[in-house]
Structure 1
């Protein structure tokens, strides 16, 4: 398993133009939809499926920006706060 890049490093790579094409595409898509992210997520095929199954609030929570100060990390069968650094 390779070393994970920190978010600030990823932003730097995007600014410098040295990020992978896939990362640039994902960043462009996010930036394009960020003003209406919740609406777009609720309207995409996966979002509509989740809404139909009663998980609309989960989609809204996933679309919320800066709603949490921790990053979930799967350890065994449970999510815990990822270690800093």
Structure 2
């Protein structure tokens, strides 16, 4: 599964700035958790993106806490993930 370049950057900024977990990011961008994780790891370490941000004086600092709607989204994703895990276990 691939994520468009602009979405890769946005996904990484949301993760770094808002401290949003990978699960809700994967849901927001319609991708798997693995792809979202790899995207944030790769984008953070890609030299050209870091250089571009530096050239523009952009430094991403973590927010003190995620905004309320994102916290709610995160809780909902975790709840849905829990339901899916329970269904799989129940059927085995």
What TM-score do you get using the length of structure 1 for normalisation?
A: 0.28
Q: What TM-score comes out, normalization by structure 2 length?
A: 0.27
Structure having greater relative contact order (Cα 8 Å, sep ≥ 6): 2
